[in-house]
Chain A
Amino acid sequence: MNPEIKSYFPILNQEINGHPLVYLDSAATSQKPTPVIEALKEYYEFDNSNVHRGVHTLGNRATEKYEGAREKVQQFIKANSTQEIVFLRGTTTAINLVAQSYGRANVEEGDEIVITYMEHHSNIIPWQQLAKERGAVLKYIELEEDGTISLENVRAAITDRTKIVSMVYVSNVLGTMNPVKEVAKIAHEHGAVMMVDGAQAAPHLKIDVQDLDCDFFAFSGHKMVGPTGIGVLYGKKHLLEAMEPVEFGGEMIDFVGLYDSTWKELPWKFEGGTPIIAGAVGLAAAIDFLQDIGLDEIEKHEHHMAAMAMDKMSKIEGLDIYGPKDPAKRAGIVTFNLKEVHPHDVATVLDMSGIAVRAGHHCAQPLMKWLDVTATARASFYLYNDESDIDRLVEGLRSAKEYFSDVF
C-alpha cells in the first residue's frame, strides 16, 4: 500500500493526549479522505438543490449528481440495473426495510428465518420482531470453534420452511469472512431468499452481487470512507418490484388522490422524502477513491495487517485473540482481551497514548455470550493504517499490562 495514502486523511494528522493519533476503530466508522470532503463541499457550494422536481438548472445538476451516484454504486457492486439500488440511511435501515416489507408479505406462522450467532444487533432484532409478529421461528446457525461457519451447519439449519436467510459477510467482531455465495445456493435450494449484511465487506472486498447470487445486499457509506447517513439496499429487481414501500410521503409517489395513491417505479418508491443527496454524492466520491487504489489492493493490505497484528499481539503474554487463527479467513479486524485488565481499562490506557480502539460488546451480545465474555477490545485496520500503527498498538498494550500489574 502506498504510504502516502495517510496524507489524504486530514483527521489522522493530529495529536491525541500528546501522541500522534493511531486510529484503529474503522470497523465502527472509517475516516474520510480529502476528495470526499471536497465533493461534499463542492456540492453544497455549487449544486445544492432538491432533486427530481425543479425545472431550474441547480435542480438538474443535483439530480444528475444523485442519479450519477446510483450508477456508480450499481457498477461498484455489479448490480444488473440502477433500479436495484435503493439509497437509504444505512445498513440497519436496509435490513429493517427488507424485514418489514418482504418479511411481512412472505413469512407466515411456523415459517423460519435463519441467521447466525455472529450477527450485529441490526441483523438480529429486525428478524426477532418479524418472527414475533408473524409467529415465525428464528433459528441460529452454530459457529465452529474458531468462529467460522461450516456449510454442514448451514445445511442443518435451512429447511423447506425457511423463508429468509440473513448473514453477515464479514463479522464485525471476529473478522470472519463467511461463505455467503455457498449459503445463498443452499437457501435457494429450499426456496428461501438470501440477505447479506455487507457493512464490513463493502469497504474491504470486491463485491459482485450477481456472482454471490444474493437476493438482498446492504451496506453503509460511512464505513467505506464516505459520509454518515447514506447506505444502500441492493435487491433483485423482481423482488423489489413486488415489495411495498414502508415509508410514505413526498418523492416516492406517482399520483396522490384523496383516499388512495400510487407509487413511483423502482427504486424511488422506497425513497420517501427528500433523499440523502449530499450523502450519495459523498458516497460516489468514496467509491472513486477506493477504486483508484483498488479493492484487491485494499483487501490484500488488510490481510497483511491482520496477519502482522495477530503475530505481534500474540507475543504479548496473557492476550487472547478471538476468531479464526488463519489470517486468510479474516478481514482486518482483531478482537482481543488482555488477561485481568477489563477492555474499557485497556481502551482508556491506549487512548492516553493516542490510540483509538473500541471496547465493549460491539453490538453483538449473542456473540459475546457464545465467546463467554462480557466485553472485548477490538482493533480494526483500514487502508490508511500501516505497520507503525501496529507497533504503537503493541507498545500501548504492553504499557497497559505493565500499568495494571503495577497497581495490583
Chain B
Amino acid sequence: MSFNNLDQLYRQVIMDHYKTPRNKGTLEQDSVNIEMNNPTCGDRIQLTLQVEDGIVKDAKFDGEGCSISMASASMMTQAVKGKDVDSALKMSEIFSDMMLGKEYDDSVDLGDIEALQGVSKFPARIKCATLAWKAMEKGVHEEEKS
C-alpha cells in the first residue's frame, strides 16, 4: 500500500523529533510550570520554562501523546529557547496561521517547525500539533502577570 499522503504528515524530521525528543524532562529551576491536556484525545504536556528579563532562558517538556504532539513539543522548546518573549509569541502566531492553512509570515526562519506544515491537511491532528504552543503561550502570559 502506498502512503504518499502520509509522508506529507510524517516527515522525516518529525519522526526524528518523536524518536529522540529535544529538551525532554522538567526544569529544576523553573519560573513557569504549565500542564495542559487535549481533552478529546488524552494528550498531556507539562511544560517548564525559565523566563528571565523577558528572555526564555530554558524550556523543557514532558508528557504523553502521539507522534505529532510530542514532535511539535520538542520543536517548540527548541525554537523558543533563547528567544525573547515577544518573538516566541510571534512564532506561535505564525505557527497557528500555518496550522489553519492561512498565509503566514515567512520572514521568520522556522527551522524544523516548517516540517509540520503538512499537519494542516489533517484537520483531526491540528490540535495535537498546537498543544505545546498553547501551553507556551499560557506559560508566558502567566509569567508576565506575576
Chain A contact residues, CB within 8 Å of chain B: 17, 342-345, 347-349, 351-353, 359-361, 365, 368, 374-375, 395, 399, 403, 407-408
Tell me the smallest distance from the CB of B61 to a CB of chain A, in Å: 15
**CB-nearest residue of chain B relative to A407?**
B15
- Quick check: A342 and B67 within 8 Å, CB to CB? yes
Chain B contact residues, CB within 8 Å of chain A: 1, 3, 5-6, 9-10, 12, 15, 19, 40-44, 64-69, 122, 124-125, 128
Residues of B within 8 A of A374 (CB): 42-44, 64-65
**CB-nearest residue of chain A relative to B64?**
A374
- Quick check: B19 and A408 within 8 Å, CB to CB? yes
Inter-chain residue pair count (beta carbon < 8 A): 58
**CB-nearest residue of chain B relative to A349?**
B6
- Quick check: A348 and B122 within 8 Å, CB to CB? yes
* 21 A-B pairs (CB sep. < 8 Å): A342-B65, A344-B65, A344-B66, A344-B68, A344-B69, A348-B9, A348-B122, A348-B124, A348-B125, A349-B3, A352-B3, A352-B6, A353-B1, A360-B40, A374-B42, A374-B64, A374-B65, A375-B42, A399-B3, A403-B10, A407-B12
- Quick check: A361 and B42 within 8 Å, CB to CB? yes
Contact partner, B6, options A342, A348, A360, Cβ 8 Å: A348
Complex Cα distance A32/B122, Å? Answer: 26
Complex Cα distance A374/B3, Å? Answer: 27
Residues of A within 8 A of B5 (CB): 17, 352
- Quick check: B41 and A361 within 8 Å, CB to CB? yes
Tell me the smallest distance from the CB of A256 to a CB of chain B, in Å: 41
Complex Cα distance A360/B66, Å? Answer: 10
Residues of B within 8 A of A349 (CB): 3, 6
Tell me the smallest distance from the CB of B44 to a CB of chain A, in Å: 7
Complex Cα distance A395/B67, Å? Answer: 22
Complex Cα distance A349/B124, Å? Answer: 12
Complex Cα distance A348/B41, Å? Answer: 13
Complex Cα distance A185/B40, Å? Answer: 36
Residues of B within 8 A of A368 (CB): 42
Given A348-B9, A348-B125, A361-B41, residue A343 in contact with residue B66 (CB < 8 A): yes
**CB-nearest residue of chain A relative to B38?**
A360
Complex Cα distance A359/B9, Å? Answer: 17
**CB-nearest residue of chain B relative to A346?**
B66
Residues of B within 8 A of A395 (CB): 1
**CB-nearest residue of chain B relative to A342?**
B66
- Quick check: B128 and A344 within 8 Å, CB to CB? yes
Complex Cα distance A375/B64, Å? Answer: 9
**CB-nearest residue of chain B relative to A403?**
B3
Shortest Cβ-Cβ A-B pairs, 8 listed:
A344-B66, A342-B66, A360-B41, A361-B42, A407-B15, A375-B42, A374-B64, A399-B1
Tell me the smallest distance from the CB of B127 to a CB of chain A, in Å: 10
With A17-B5, A342-B66, A349-B6 known, 10 other A-B pairs at CB within 8 A are A342-B67, A343-B66, A344-B41, A344-B65, A344-B66, A344-B68, A348-B122, A352-B6, A353-B1, A360-B42
